[in-house]
Amino acid sequence: MPDLNLILLGPPGSGKGTQGERLQEDLELPYYATGDILRAAVKEGTEVGQTAREYMERGDLVPDEVIIGVIAERLGDSPAGHGFILDGFPRTVPQAEALDAELDKLGRQLEAVILIDVSDDEIIRRITGRRVCADGGHIYHVEFSPPETEGVCDIDGSELVVRDDDRPEVVRNRLDQYHEKTAPLVSYYEKQALLNRVDGSADPDQVAESIRSLVSTLSLEEG
């Protein structure tokens, strides 16, 4: 199979993490969620990781150029030599431009950007329906995986609560921010003929099959 350098885009709650892990298993490629990369670089004490740590310890946002540096370290490592799956980055057009520049330095390019498309109403339904066990952290959903007794954890009997970041007003704010930052990014990749939309409202298995079909097509085109 030819090298595949992929980006997963989608709103919070669209299932990027689930689909990214499945794709990682299918393609045997490293899957990089931006937060995980940043934490790993800090833990490993790389030069860029030490710079990131300074910002994080002060409680400041890590600047784009530092995040790009951390990601460039990973994409230049041997595990990513035959491709990668990147999730959570880029989030803005300047970040996308910086990523393009770093890939160009490595003599590489993106093969595809996969947008897992889910409506705001569906995202709100998914996230606000989550309930978490106050003691053990066990997760339920009022529609998809309800407890036997409403409001009570099946496993330890503790109260099920709504996390602060799962409240409707918080979810709507997160979606507003996503659309504000990501709409220009979608256009950016559409102009490069890299954007591929997948219906994320379907069953996770169906979404995974759609992505597999898309990747198979890409592999044939690149081969």
Can you name the residues that pair with 132 across neighbouring β-strands?
Answer: 139, 161
Active-site residue (options: 43, 105, 163, 167): 163
The Cα 199–Cα 209 span in angstroms is: 11
Backbone phi, then psi, for 132, in 5-degree steps? -120, 135
Active-site residue (options: 39, 91, 125, 172): 91
Report whether the peptide linkage leading into residue 90 is cis, meaning its omega lies within 30 degrees of zero.
yes
130 as an active site residue: the answer is yes
16 as an active site residue: the answer is yes
Question: Cα torsion at 202, 203, 208, 214 (round to 10°)?
Answer: -20
Active-site residue (options: 16, 74, 126, 131): 16
108 as an active site residue: the answer is no
The answer to whether 17 and 122 are in contact (CB under 8 A) is no
39 as an active site residue: the answer is no
The Cα 214–Cα 159 span in angstroms is: 43
Active-site residue (options: 125, 172, 174, 197): 174
Q: How large is the angle between the packed helices 120-128 and 168-191, nearest 10 degrees?
A: 140
174 as an active site residue: the answer is yes
Active-site residue (options: 22, 74, 126, 130): 130
Known catalytic residues are 16, 91, 130, 163, 174
